Amino acid sequence: MKLSAKTTQRLAWLGVWGAATIVLLALLFTIGYVLFQGIPSLSWDFVFGPTTRGGLRAPIIGTIYMIVLTLAVVVPLGLGAAIYLAEYAPRNRLTESIRYALDTLAGIPSIIFGLFGLALFVIVLIGTQSILAGALTLACLTLPFMVAAAEEAIRAVPRSQREASLALGATKWQTIWHVILPAAMPGIVTGVILCAGRVVAETAPLLATSGFSPFPPETPLDGCRTLALHLFYLVTEAPGDRQELIGQAMGVGVILILMVIIITLLTHWLSQRYMARMRGG
């Protein structure tokens, strides 16, 4: 029996709406469960106390260090590569090979990046496990995602905006800086948030590169323990009552969720400031 176009449209809408609802409910259930289980564990001593006494001071500082250093490396490199691929690179086999390599890197297991970072950054270049070694490793891990998100955002800018800018006498770089990047900023911000989320969540690469120090780092050459690593430690190796440790792990999960929300809001605020300045300039 052949369905009418109106019935097919209605069924398609119901299917898409149902899928979106299921995803939203799963997300709300996951976040709600972690908050319900973890909030009772939160206290001033737990969040800001020394890690040697069960606090999260060192993991929070280490996570902030890791996010800042990783984004400081991956955002300029990823954005520069995306601008080249979208605006300057000719369509040839070399360009396609670069895109294929980026797609392949995005699918490599994170532990492989950990072994690579251990061999290159820890053993050869730096000589010890440190925040810098972990950040460089995570920069290699997140670079394909940053390039892909930024390139898609740049390509989505209408060609008419480029042509109008060039017709007014602007150079190609002036067009990119003042027209294309502000218009593509929402997609670029999405890439930055995805990279920050991967940095917050990763454990396997950091086990091999950043160390597992319970003390707050002071320089990028110090070892550190991120919140994700500390959560892994609580549920696998930490001595004590299992129920209490799981409650503490849920508390760490609450801190991770709050950190991701803060990063998202801060990134959006900075992007809005940038777009307002570009339009005003």
Cα–Cα distance, 189 to 46 (Å, whole number): 32
Q: What are the two backbone dihedrals, phi and then psi, of residue 219, each rounded to the nearest 5 degrees?
A: -135, 165
What is the tens place of the pLDDT at every residue in 179-205? 888 888 888 888 888 888 888 888 888
Contacts of 190 (CB under 8 A, 6+ apart): 149, 153
Total residue length of the chain: 281
Query: What average pLDDT does the structure give for the chain?
Result: 84
Instruction: Tell me, yes or no, whether 26 and 154 share the same domain.
Output: no
- Rg of the chain over all Cα atoms, to the nearest angstrom: 22
Mean pLDDT to the nearest integer, 125-141: 89
Instruction: Tell me, yes or no, whether 1 and 105 share the same domain.
Output: no
What is the tens place of the pLDDT at every residue in 240-276? 677 777 888 888 888 888 888 888 888 778 777 766 7
CB 206 within 8 A of CB 231: no
What pLDDT, on the 0 to 100 scale, is given for residue 50? 81
Cα–Cα distance, 153 to 188 (Å, whole number): 6
The domain in which residue 15 lies consists of: 1-41
What pLDDT, on the 0 to 100 scale, is given for residue 25? 93
Of 46-50, 134-138, 239-243, the range with the highest mean pLDDT is 134-138
**Rounded to the nearest 10 degrees, what angle do helices 131-155 and 110-117 cross at?**
130
CB 85 within 8 A of CB 151: yes
**CA end-to-end span of the chain:** 61
Instruction: Tell me, yes or no, whether 22 and 107 share the same domain.
Output: no
Instruction: Tell me, yes or no, whether 127 and 12 share the same domain.
Output: no
What sign results for the dihedral spanned by CA atoms 3, 7, 13, 14?
negative
- How many domains does the structure of the chain reveal? 2
Instruction: Tell me, yes or no, whether 30 and 71 share the same domain.
Output: no
Instruction: Tell me, yes or no, whether 65 and 118 share the same domain.
Output: yes
What pLDDT, on the 0 to 100 scale, is given for residue 22? 94
Q: Name the pLDDT band for 69 (thresholds 50, 70, 90).
A: very high
What pLDDT, on the 0 to 100 scale, is given for residue 75? 92
Q: Name the pLDDT band for 42 (thresholds 50, 70, 90).
A: confident
**Which burial class, exposed, middle or buried, applies to 106 when counting CB atoms under 10 A from its CB (0-12, 13-18, 19+)?**
middle
Instruction: Tell me, yes or no, whether 34 and 135 share the same domain.
Output: no
The torsion defined by the Cα of 228, 229, 233 and 236, in degrees rounded to 10, comes to 70
What sign results for the dihedral spanned by CA atoms 18, 20, 22, 28?
negative
CB 185 within 8 A of CB 271: yes
What pLDDT, on the 0 to 100 scale, is given for residue 251? 85
Mean pLDDT to the nearest integer, 67-72: 92
Instruction: Tell me, yes or no, whether 17 and 52 share the same domain.
Output: no
What is the tens place of the pLDDT at every residue in 17-38? 999 999 999 989 988 888 888 8
Instruction: Tell me, yes or no, whether 103 and 134 share the same domain.
Output: yes
Instruction: Tell me, yes or no, whether 94 and 25 share the same domain.
Output: no
Cα–Cα distance, 131 to 129 (Å, whole number): 7
What pLDDT, on the 0 to 100 scale, is given for residue 277? 67
Can you say how many angstroms the Cα of residue 157 is from the centroid of all Cα atoms in its chain? 23
Q: Name the pLDDT band for 280 (thresholds 50, 70, 90).
A: low
Provide, rounded to the nearest whole percent, the portion of the chain with pLDDT above 70. 95
Looking up residue 172, the CATH number of its domain turns out to be 1.10.3720.10
CB 228 within 8 A of CB 200: yes
Q: Is pLDDT at 152 greater than 60 in this prediction?
A: yes
